[in-house]
């Protein structure tokens, strides 16, 4: 299957949005990083709005978009509903933060937001899980979507923590969370690629050899692994265990916001790459006409 | 109760592609798209034991069609007589059914922004006629009728086929159509 760019952009931006939402909600529940909450929510809102808009470009008849609510069994219907719920929660959280709502209201929204932050990327990935496409027919696919969302949200918060100059305790905590998220993201990618290798109905079009040494090797090793996993792992490891940003020389440069932002771009590029690979391996069990 | 079914006798198919041409003409399909195609399976084996057969493929009008299950608008639906169709007035062209189909037999009509596939010529069937590909087939390889009517040719072929009856891969969709192949090894 060709890369479905509008869907890919939606998946990545929805993941970024839910990652940011999840961390903001976690901050609220833990009483941490107050200065990062509003910027985090704004990024979440912008990302989900842009992603939703991108997905409309996939449709042949976007004017009929509300027809999507016609079948609750459909993954697309579930995606639309989950996106709408997440969007409403982000807006509600935004208003609650601006209006300085009571802790009870904030915590209630934070719990719901955390659920949405996990549910939407999972539902987005789960929509692809179907018997017709062996390289997609694994639960490790939606789990990989959740892992990517977690890592993108964590690294975004790390960048923000450097820009907003949060206190050392919060910065260290966010740095460590970011490192854990990068590890989880890596594990989920490895699990998904392993599932592709073991998928039934083997066929050259979805062979693991295409990734490891074939026509997709550069995309896999260069973009998905080197840019998307190794760079974020190295940078977040520095945040978790390296020198404080105010330290001079050596590896402290790796804690600059600009460097961390480049790391975030690498992570997003890696996420785009592994999803591109997912589409390119997504041949059907027997593709006769197309 | 009527269940419209088609079976293709591959031992009788000569690979002439008349079915493809008749389908394009009857359904006014745009250049470059197909509802049905004929695939060469083989040649396999080593001379003089070589085999090759022709496999006409199209929508299998599944018993539990995944295209219907995933369609977010209900545009893809299965009629009571077993024919799976797409309601153009409801289709948003999201291509989710294309992803869900195990056989790669659906395509998007970019002019209308909707998904299309074999309709089993439902407009003809509703008039008591055969699908265009059935009537055009010079080898009488395509057999169509009511599988619930024991007197129909399709029902009798299904009942008597035994080991020569084959279906495409089933990933939970239960393909409704079938193939007969007795003279060669099924490799599809």
Q: How far apart are CA A241 and CA A95, in angstroms?
A: 36
Label residue A243 left, alpha or beta by phi (over 0 means left) and psi (-120 to 50 means alpha): beta
* Cβ contact, residue pair B94, A76, below 8 Å: yes
* Cβ contact, residue pair A288, B106, below 8 Å: no
Q: How far apart are CA B131 and CA B124, in angstroms?
A: 6
The mean per-residue pLDDT over the stretch A261-282 comes to 96
Q: How far apart are CA B140 and CA B159, in angstroms?
A: 18
B127 lies in some domain: yes
B65 lies in some domain: yes
B188 lies in some domain: no
Give how far B39 is from chain A: nearest CA, Å. 7
Q: Over the stretch A85-125, which tens digit does the pLDDT of each residue have?
A: 999 999 999 999 999 999 999 999 999 999 999 999 999 99
What total of structural domains would you count in chain B? Answer: 1
Please state, in angstroms and as integers, the Cα–Cα distance from residue A163 to each residue in A116, A264, A265, B140, following that order: 27, 14, 16, 75
> Residue A15: what pLDDT?
97
> Residue A238: what pLDDT?
87
What is the SS3 assignment for B33?
A: coil
Which residues in chain B are closer than 8 Å to A68, comparing Cβ atoms? 72-73, 92, 94
- Is the pLDDT score of B176 beyond 90? yes
* Cβ contact, residue pair B72, A284, below 8 Å: no
- Is the pLDDT score of A287 beyond 90? no
B50 lies in some domain: yes
B99 lies in some domain: yes
- State the pairing for strand pair B4-9/B142-146: antiparallel
Which residues in chain A are closer than 8 Å to B93, comparing Cβ atoms? 59-61
B120 lies in some domain: yes
> Residue A240: what pLDDT?
82
Give how far B179 is from chain A: nearest CA, Å. 15
Q: How far apart are CA A254 and CA A268, in angstroms?
A: 18
Residue that is written with structure tokens 């199209």 in the block: B58
Q: How far apart are CA A168 and CA A159, in angstroms?
A: 14
> Residue A184: what pLDDT?
97
Q: How far apart are CA A169 and CA A33, in angstroms?
A: 9
Give how far B160 is from chain A: nearest CA, Å. 27
B185 lies in some domain: no
Q: How far apart are CA A144 and CA A273, in angstroms?
A: 13
Question: Per the structure block, which two tokens stand in for B72?
Answer: 């977010």
CA end-to-end span of chain A: 9
What is chain B's alpha carbon radius of gyration, rounded to the nearest angstrom? 16
pLDDT, averaged across chain A: 93
> Residue B21: what pLDDT?
97
Domain extent, residue B67, equals: 4-180
- How many Cβ contacts (< 8 angstroms) between chains A and B? 125
> Residue B132: what pLDDT?
97
pLDDT, averaged across chain B: 96
| Short-list B126, B143, B131, B151, CA closest to B177 | B143
Q: Over the stretch A178-223, which tens digit does the pLDDT of each residue have?
A: 999 999 999 999 999 999 999 999 999 999 999 999 999 999 999 9
Give how far B14 is from chain A: nearest CA, Å. 18
> Residue A112: what pLDDT?
97
Largest distance between two CA atoms of chain B: 54
> Residue A254: what pLDDT?
73
CATH code for the domain in which residue B88 is found: 3.30.70.20
Which residues in chain A are closer than 8 Å to B74, comparing Cβ atoms? 67, 70-71
Q: Over the stretch A1-26, which tens digit does the pLDDT of each residue have?
A: 899 999 999 999 999 999 999 999 99
Which one of A55, A56, A61, A201 makes the best mutation probe of the B interface by having the most chain B beta carbons within 10 Å?
A61
* Residues forming beta bridges with residue B38, ordered by sequence position: B56
Which residues in chain A are closer than 8 Å to B69, comparing Cβ atoms? 73-74
> Residue A252: what pLDDT?
66
Count of H helices and E strands in chain A? 10, 0
* Cβ contact, residue pair A285, B169, below 8 Å: yes
> Residue A250: what pLDDT?
58
Q: What is the DSSP letter of A65?
A: G
- Is the pLDDT score of A172 beyond 60? yes
Q: Over the stretch B101-131, which tens digit does the pLDDT of each residue have?
A: 999 999 999 999 999 999 999 999 999 999 9
Confidence of residue A245 (pLDDT cuts 50, 70, 90): low
- Is the pLDDT score of B138 beyond 80? yes
Which one of B99, B109, B112, B169 makes the best mutation probe of the A interface by having the most chain A beta carbons within 10 Å?
B99
Confidence of residue A70 (pLDDT cuts 50, 70, 90): confident
A 85-144 → B contacts, CB under 8 A:
127-128, 130-133
In residues, how long is chain A? 290
Please indicate if any CB of chain B lies within 8 Å of the CB of A192.
no
Q: How far apart are CA A128 and CA A111, in angstroms?
A: 27
* Residues forming beta bridges with residue B18, ordered by sequence position: none
Question: Per the structure block, which two tokens stand in for B85?
Answer: 């169709």
* Residues forming beta bridges with residue B167, ordered by sequence position: none
- Is the pLDDT score of A144 beyond 80? yes
Query: Which residues are within 8 A (CB) of A57 and not within 5 positions of it... i.e. 6 or more apart?
Result: A6
- Is the pLDDT score of B148 beyond 90? yes
Confidence of residue A249 (pLDDT cuts 50, 70, 90): low
Query: What H or E segment, with its residue span, contains residue B38?
Result: strand B36-46
Largest distance between two CA atoms of chain A: 62
Among the ranges given (A69-73, A138-142, A239-243, B42-46), the one the predictor scored with the smallest mean pLDDT:
A239-243
Which one of A82, A129, A290 makes the best mutation probe of the B interface by having the most chain B beta carbons within 10 Å?
A290
Please indicate if any CB of chain B lies within 8 Å of the CB of A288.
yes
Which residues in chain B are closer than 8 Å to A286, comparing Cβ atoms? 102-104, 168-169, 188
Q: In this structure, are residues A12 and A275 in contact, taking their beta carbons and an 8 Å threshold?
A: yes
Q: For residue B89, what is the nearest residue in chain A, using CA coordinates?
A: A64
- Is the pLDDT score of A247 beyond 60? no
């Amino acid at each position: 299957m060709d890369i479905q760019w509008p869907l890919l952009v939606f998946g990545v931006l929805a993941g970024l949005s839910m990652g940011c939402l999840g961390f903001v909600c976690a901050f609220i529940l833990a009483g941490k990083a107050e200065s990062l909450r509003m910027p985090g929510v704004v990024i979440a809102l912008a990302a989900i709005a842009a992603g939703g808009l991108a997905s409309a470009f996939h449709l042949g008849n976007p004017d009929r978009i509300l027809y999507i609510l016609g079948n609750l069994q459909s993954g697309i219907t579930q995606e639309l509903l989950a996106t709408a719920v997440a969007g409403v929660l982000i807006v509600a959280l935004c208003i609650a933060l601006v209006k300085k709502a009571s802790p009870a209201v904030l915590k209630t929204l934070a719990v719901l937001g955390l659920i949405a932050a996990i549910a939407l990327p999972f539902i987005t990935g789960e929509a692809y899980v179907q018997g017709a496409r062996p390289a997609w027919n694994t639960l490790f696919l939606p789990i990989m979507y959740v892992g990517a969302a977690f890592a993108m949200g964590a690294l975004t918060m790390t960048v923000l923590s450097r820009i907003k100059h949060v206190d050392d305790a919060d910065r260290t905590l966010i740095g460590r969370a970011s490192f854990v998220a990068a590890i989880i993201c890596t594990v989920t990618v490895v699990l998904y690629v392993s599932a592709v290798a073991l998928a039934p109905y083997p066929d050259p079009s979805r062979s693991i050899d295409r990734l490891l040494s074939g026509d997709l090797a550069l995309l896999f090793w260069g973009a998905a692994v080197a840019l998307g996993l190794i760079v974020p792992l190295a940078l977040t490891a520095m945040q978790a265990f390296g020198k404080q940003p105010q330290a001079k020389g050596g590896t402290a440069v790796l804690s600059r916001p600009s460097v961390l932002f480049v790391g975030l771009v690498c992570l997003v590029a890696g996420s785009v790459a592994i999803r591109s690979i997912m589409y390119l391996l997504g041949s059907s069990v027997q593709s006769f006409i197309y | 109760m009527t269940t419209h079914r088609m079976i293709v006798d591959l031992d009788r198919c000569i690979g002439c592609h008349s079915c493809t041409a008749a389908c394009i003409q009857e359904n006014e399909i745009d250049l470059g798209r197909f509802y049905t195609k004929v695939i060469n399976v083989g040649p396999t084996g080593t001379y003089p034991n070589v085999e090759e057969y022709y496999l006409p493929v199209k929508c299998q009008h599944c018993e539990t069609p995944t295209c219907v299950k995933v369609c977010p608008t209900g545009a893809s639906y299965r009629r009571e007589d077993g024919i799976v169709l797409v309601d153009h007035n409801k289709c948003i062209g999201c291509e989710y059914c294309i992803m869900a189909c195990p056989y790669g037999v659906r395509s998007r009509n970019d002019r209308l922004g909707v998904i299309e596939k074999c309709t089993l010529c439902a407009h003809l069937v509703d008039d008591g006629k055969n699908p265009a590909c059935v009537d055009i087939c010079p080898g009488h390889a395509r057999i169509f009728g009511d599988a619930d009517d024991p007197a129909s040719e399709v029902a009798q072929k299904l009942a008597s086929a035994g080991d020569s009856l084959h279906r495409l891969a089933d990933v939970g969709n239960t393909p409704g159509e079938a193939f007969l192949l007795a003279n060669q090894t099924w490799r599809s």
